[in-house]
Structure 1
Amino acid sequence: MRPVSRRTRTGALAAFTALSALLSTGSATAATQLNGDWAPFDRCPVDAPAMLAADGIDAIATCIASGSVTGSITLGKSHVTTGTTDLQLGVIQRSDGTTSLVAPPEGALTADPAEIPGGLLGLMCPSGIPLVSVICRQLTDNDLNRVTATIEPAGAPRDFNMSAAFSTGEPILTIPVRIHLKNPFLGDKCYIGTTADPVLLKPQNLNAPSISLQRFAADGTRDDAGEMGRYTFAGADQGDAAFAVPGASGCGAGLLDWAVNLKTGLPSAAGKNSVTLDDTSTYFGSPYDPAGLAPHEGRKLSEFWHSARQ
């Protein structure tokens, strides 16, 4: 990591710490186990063509990982406590000041599923509508009542603002998502938001994280003179309370959209929804001296990553 570029990298890391707020209701995915200080980057897309093409001078390839174990999301009248979350991305930083993102093959966002409090009873019941009343009377079985929510990407992140990464209260970027509601009565295509009309999250720093730097060897072993460097950002809360939420669609083949919307207060205007992720831990790793690996910095990063696989 060249000293001249550390401020730029610090800003990028703070920005992507905020992305972890999206993970609050995702679906966890198994990942490769890595040794030592490489461990947080087990899904970094080091073999993506854009990452491999980085030369260490005009383009620098880096890995970002961010996660938390607690948080919450409020959509209309529904409030969900979230579980363990994980965000990972590859980042290409260019000498002209531009930045591009590279997602892992399975997507950048994963997390433990979150359960909707009260399940389907909480979403739709009681109701004076015959169709819904029939369903409500059948919800004596926990499996039939249980509703899980999964956040899914609904478009590419955009509107990245590097300067906002150094401050609080300013949107860092925009991330389109949709929320997949799963229950036997709702079917497999029940969503809040769509790819055409997504929930647009604009996370921001709620407080500044503490920052530390670790050096480690190519295989992940801690080494104060190692080839790799890792910034650790800890203790930052991230959130957004200014996004709008569209109504549900595809629930019960569309027949139950109105019932979900009525009970949950959707669609919900901006200012009535929020997402918060508590006490995030975020890691930002790249070769400590990218220029020293030119013109193959991206390929060396991939080589180092694979050498740390357990």
Structure 2
Amino acid sequence: MQNRYRAAMIGGFAIAAAAALTSAATAGADALPDSPFGGWGDCPISNPDTSTCVGVTVKGGTMQIGKLSVDVPNDSLRVAGGLAFPEEPNNPNGFDQVFVPPTDGSGGIYSKPISIPGGALGIDLPFNNLFGLNAATATVELAGNNNPSLDVFEQSVKMPVKLRIANPLLGNKCYLGSDTTPVQMNLDVSKAGTLQAIPGANMGASFRNVEHAAEPFAVPAASGCGPFGVLNPIVNWRAGTPSLEAKNSLITTSDVFTNDADAVRGMQNP
């Protein structure tokens, strides 16, 4: 009971602290216009350790990987799940923030395929990119048994990922990064967002248009491209990989959502 009370208290405190630390926050804002918020279905409220439900939806951005420059469309990348706050005496706050992944096997990262301009050859070709043979997409996937992490106070996000490069000739196992050598994308806030309530009873808070910029990150060489990896050199030539930290970047604008997990439990079990 004491741990449960502490978890609920910290969950509520996390929301209040996040609001206080958002310098551009405005009180009494209107309902969310054009918000990609889709509810709390990804929050693992069945886990009693979950104190806070969190979600980050990327609304747009640009990813640079070596020689590839890719626009990140609205709602093509999300991080969602829960947070637990176990006691940690060595932490100045007295507790850690631990990401609790959803129960759907996603690990908390949801990505849609993002089109790569110029496709596999670096140039858009006629006849629907040679009947689709030149078309290529990139999908962000969680690397192995790693977990993302989200700091609800600072609104920073850390994602150990691998990028699946899809093309009819590359097969389904062509990756930049791997389970053992992930691409570590650590997104720090470069511009705070605007605080708005999520419409509805006990629906929580949102921080609109938070601007994130990734810390420098390296990208390893391609693997698994084509039969027995025979097309790895082609992907490395096209992407400019392996790529040193200075040649890669990720800049995004996102909406960050947060709510007390007990409030979500109450909505589902009135």
Structure 1 residues 244 and 4, CA gap change in structure 2 (3 angstroms): closer
- Structure 2 partner of 1:119: 119
Shift of 1:198: 1.1
- Structure 1 partner of 2:178: 194
- Structure 1 partner of 2:66: 76
> Where does structure 1 differ by over 6 angstroms across 4 or more consecutive aligned residues?
1-5, 12-15, 158-163
Which of 195, 204, 207 is 1:233 aligned to? 207
Which of 42, 51, 54 is 1:64 aligned to? 54
Q: Does 2:248 match 1:273? A: yes
- Structure 2 partner of 1:8: 14
- Structure 1 partner of 2:222: 248
- Structure 1 partner of 2:78: 86
Instruction: From the CA coordinates, give the structure whose radius of gyration is larger.
Output: 1
Matches of 1:4 and 1:153, distance apart in 2: 28
Matches of 2:129 and 2:149, distance apart in 1: 46
**8 Å CA contact retained: 2:58, 2:78:** yes
**8 Å CA contact retained: 1:13, 1:284:** no
Structure 1 spans left out of the alignment, 5+ residues: 16-37, 55-59, 126-135, 167-171, 223-227, 288-296
- Structure 2 partner of 1:32: none
Which amino acid letter does the alignment assign opposite residue 174 of structure 2?
C
Shift of 1:42: 2.7
Corresponding pairs, count = 236
- Structure 2 partner of 1:109: 109
CA deviation string 1:249-291 (max 9, x = no partner)? 111121111121123211110121011112x21110116xxxx
Shift of 1:241: 4.5
Larger helix proportion, structure 1 or 2? Answer: 1
Q: Matched residues, percent identical?
A: 25
Shift of 1:78: 0.2
Classify the secondary structure of the residue corresponding to 1:184.
coil
Classify the secondary structure of the residue corresponding to 1:239.
strand
Shift of 1:301: 4.1
Which amino acid letter does the alignment assign opposite residue 119 of structure 1?
G
- Structure 2 partner of 1:129: none
Matches of 1:149 and 1:275, distance apart in 2: 14
Structure 1 residues 286 and 40, CA gap change in structure 2 (3 angstroms): same
CA deviation string 1:160-212 (max 9, x = no partner)? 7777x17xxxxx46421000011121111100011111111111001112224
Shift of 1:303: 4.8
- Structure 1 partner of 2:257: 283
Shift of 1:73: 0.7
Structure 1 residues 5 and 192, CA gap change in structure 2 (3 angstroms): closer
- Structure 1 partner of 2:27: none
